[in-house]
Chain A
Amino acid sequence: MKILTSNYITCAVKACKSSTLSFPLHFQDAELVQEEVDFNAEFIVGILPRIEWDALIVTAAELGFTNLPAQKPEPTEEAPLGEQVLKDLHKLLLETQVTEGKLVCGNCQHIYNIHQGIANFLLPNHLV
C-alpha cells in the first residue's frame, strides 16, 4: 500500500466512522519498499488539495519520515511549488509503499493485515 492511498483509508467498521481516532489508521510492523515510478508534477499539484495533511504527517512519522513541513504547502500563481518539493512529495506519496505489516484502528483497535502490498479490509461477522 502506497502512502498516498493510506491517506484515504479509515476503519471499515461503521461505528468507527464518526470517531476522530479512526483516521489515519496506524501502521505497525511495516516493511517498507521504495519503488521508482514516473514523476508527474501535474498529478502531485492536483492531488495536494485533496490530501489530509495532518494525517499524512502522522503516517509519515510512524514510518520514520519526519521531514514534512508542519503546514501543507500552499502554492499560488506567483509562487508555484518548487521542483524539489514536488519530487519529495512524489517520492513519499507514490514511491514509498508498505508491502507487509498491519494497519490498526485507533478507535476499536481492529487490525487489518497487509500482505504482498495488498491490505485486507474484510470484517468478521461481529463487526458488520
Chain B
Amino acid sequence: MYPFGEDDPVKCLVYFAQIHETFRRAELDALGELYGINVEWEDYSDNSPFSIIKLASRREARKLVGRSILAKGIYELWGVAPDYNELHKFVRVNTAKMWPSCMGKSFKFYVEAFNGKRSQSEQHRIIEQFAYLGLDGSISMKNPEMTFNVMEEYKNKHVKAPTRVFLGRLLAVGSRHLVDTYDLKKRHYIGTTSMDAELGLITANFALTAPGKIAYDPFVGTGSFLVSCSQFGAYTLGSDIDGRQVRGKKGRSVLSNFKQYGLVSTYLDGFVSDLTNTPLRKTRFLDAIVCDPPYGVREGLRVLGSRDPEKAKEPVVRDGELRYLQDGYIPPKRPYSFLAMLDDILQFAADHLVSGGRLCFWMPTANEDFSQLDIPTHPELEIVSVCVQEFNKWSRRLLTYSRKKGDPIIEQAASRSAEIAEPEKKKVTADELNTFRKKYFEGFRPVS
C-alpha cells in the first residue's frame, strides 16, 4: 500500500460509464496531457467499467477526472479481490493505517453492482461486514465528508457471484451531468446533423480546450462543438458554407445556443465561408480545430465554384450592378470529394494550429473498408488517438492529431490531393466523388 498523504502516489479505481468504450482511455489520457498528469494504466478492459490507474497524488486524481465525461468517478483503491473473503483480508491488513484519519468524519457507504443487482437488505449486509473499519462519524447521505463505494463486477447477468469486488473511497466525480445539461432535446437550436451532447463534450476534451484557448469549427452548423468547447472555457469561432446555419432564424441561431447556456462571453464570432477558400489569415493562432465535416449523406459536400469548369470567369452584372453584391445572391457551388476535403482540413490545421494544438474531426467509414491506412496523415501532424463508434453497417471515427512543434517544413503535403484534383476538373456527380455516400445509399452491399 502507498502512503496516504494528499501528495503521495496513489493507486486509483476509475469507474467508467459502460459506453463509447474505445474513447474512455483516450479521454483520460487527453485530460492528463492537458493538466500535465502522467496516467499509468495498470488495468483496463473495454468490457469492464472498472479500471485501475496509478497517479502521483490525490490532488492529480481529482483534477484528472473532474471534467471527464466518460469517467463517473475516481476512488482511492482500498482493495480489489475475486471475492469478499479475500477483499476483507486485504483491507484489514493493508488499510489499517488509514483508519485513524477517518474517525469523526461523516460518511456514507454505497454498493454498486455491474451486470448484477443487490436488494436493499443485501446491500446493508455487505456494508455491515465493513464494521471493522470502526468508522465513528455520523452517517450523512447528502453531504458526507467521505464516500465509500463497494463495487461488484459480474461476468454477465446470469451468474450469482461477482468475479471481482472493489472497495474505494471517493476522490472526485466526473462531469457526466453535462450530458444532460447539453441534451439536444433541450437545446433551442439544432439541425439534422447536430453532434449529440455526450460526443460533443468528449470531442472538446480530446481537443484540450481550456480557459484562454481558441477553438474553431469550420463546419459549425448549429454550433454543437463550439458550445462544448466553451463549456470548458475556450473562446470559440465558427464558420459554415451555409449561411442559413450560422444565422439561424426566428431568434434561434448559434448565438442563441450560447445565450441558452450562459456562454456568450466566450463566443467570438460566426461567419460564412468555405474551407477551400478561407478568409482566415495563414498564421498559427488556433489552439484547437474541432469538426464533423459534411460527408454528403444528409448534406451534400460542396465547395465554392461552378459545376461546369467551362463557365465564364467574368463577373456577372445584372441591372447594371455586380450580381454578387445584390441581396439574395447565392454563389455557385460544386460537389467535392470527401478525401480531398480531409486533406484540406489537415493542411489547414498544419497552417493554423499553434505547436501542440489539436485537430479533432469525425470520419465515417463503411466497416468492411477500413484499415489503418485510411487514416489521413500530414507530416506536421502527429496522430494522438483513433476512437470508433460502431453502427450497424458503418462506423465513424474520432481522429485526434497534435500539431508538431516548429515551423512548417513542407508547403503542400498531400500527394493524394493532386490525384484527386485531376478528375474534378471534369463534370462530376456527388457519388463519383464520395464513395461513402455511394455505399450508404446502396446499403453497404459487399463488393462482388
Contacts and interface: CB of A to CB of B under 8 A. Distances in A.
Given A37-B264, A111-B325, A119 B331 contact: no
Contacts of A119: 271-272, 279
A56 interface: no
Interface in B288-319: 304-306, 311-316
A124 B271 contact: no
Interface string B229-256: 0000001010101010011000000000
A121 B304 CA distance: 11
Contacts of B283: 8, 50, 52
A4 interface: yes
Interface of B: 211-214, 235, 237, 239, 241, 243, 246-247, 264-266, 268-274, 277-285, 304-306, 311-316, 323-325, 329, 331-332, 354
A9 B247 contact: no
A118 B271 contact: yes
Which residue of B212, B315, B329, B354 has the most chain A CB atoms within 10 A of its CB atom? B212
B272 A125 contact: no
B306 A125 contact: yes
Contact of B312 (A42, A113, A126): A126
A10 interface: yes
Interface in A50-66: 50, 52
Interface residues of A, number: 38
Given A8-B285, A121-B279, A124-B323, A40 B312 contact: no
A4 B274 CA distance: 20
A122 B331 contact: yes
Interface stretch (A11-19, A26-34, A74-82): A11-19
Given A5-B271, A46-B212, 17 more contacts: A5-B268, A8-B280, A10-B281, A12-B278, A38-B266, A40-B212, A47-B214, A52-B281, A119-B271, A121-B273, A121-B274, A122-B272, A123-B331, A124-B315, A125-B331, A125-B332, A128-B304
B243 A118 contact: yes
B211 A42 contact: yes
A49 to B, nearest CB: 9
Contact of B246 (A42, A46, A111, A118): A118
Contacts of B325: 111, 113
Nearest to A103: B279
Nearest to B277: A12
A42 B270 CA distance: 23
Contacts, number: 116
A123 B279 CA distance: 10
B277 A118 contact: no
A8 to B, nearest CB: 5
A84 interface: no
Contacts of A67: none
A60 B253 CA distance: 28
B277 A14 contact: yes
A40 B243 contact: no
A126 B268 contact: no
A22 B273 CA distance: 17
Contacts of B278: 12, 121
Given A43-B211, A118-B247, A5 B269 contact: yes
23 contacts: A8-B283, A9-B280, A12-B279, A14-B277, A23-B281, A37-B265, A38-B265, A40-B212, A43-B212, A43-B235, A94-B268, A111-B325, A118-B271, A119-B271, A121-B273, A121-B274, A122-B243, A122-B304, A123-B274, A124-B324, A125-B332, A126-B316, A128-B306
A124 B331 contact: yes
Contacts of B246: 118
Contacts of B268: 2, 4-5, 94
B311 A125 contact: yes
Contacts of A9: 271, 279-281
B316 A124 contact: yes
Contacts of A13: 277
A12 B277 CA distance: 6
Contacts of A125: 304-306, 311-313, 316, 331-332
A113 B214 CA distance: 25
A40 B304 CA distance: 37
A106 B312 CA distance: 25
A111 B329 CA distance: 13
A67 B325 CA distance: 34
A35 to B, nearest CB: 9
Contacts of A112: 279
Contacts of B279: 9-12, 112, 119, 121
